[in-house]
Amino acid sequence: MDYNKLAVGDRLRQKRTLIGLTQDEMADKIGRSPKYYADIERGSCGMSVETLLGISKTLDMSLDYII
């Protein structure tokens, strides 16, 4: 099993734009800085379980689909 950060970022970006949120709005909803959230979408960093759970809830995406 492999964790592809670029693919994760692409899935998050697609869903976020589909529901009409900006990166800044998304970062605010999950309690993280806009730069950190942008780094996640770019695939340049991973995320904590807490961040993953916040993203999953906000974007209404299952954890297994995100990862």
The pTM (predicted TM-score) of the whole model is 0.92
Q: For position 13, what pLDDT does the model report?
A: 98
Alpha helices in the chain (DSSP H): 5-18, 23-30, 34-42, 49-59, 63-66
How far are the Cα atoms of 10, 20, 29 from residue 4, in angstroms, in the given order?
10, 25, 24
pLDDT tens across the length of the chain (67 residues): 688 999 999 999 999 999 999 999 999 999 999 999 999 999 999 999 999 999 999 999 999 999 9
Q: For position 2, what pLDDT does the model report?
A: 82
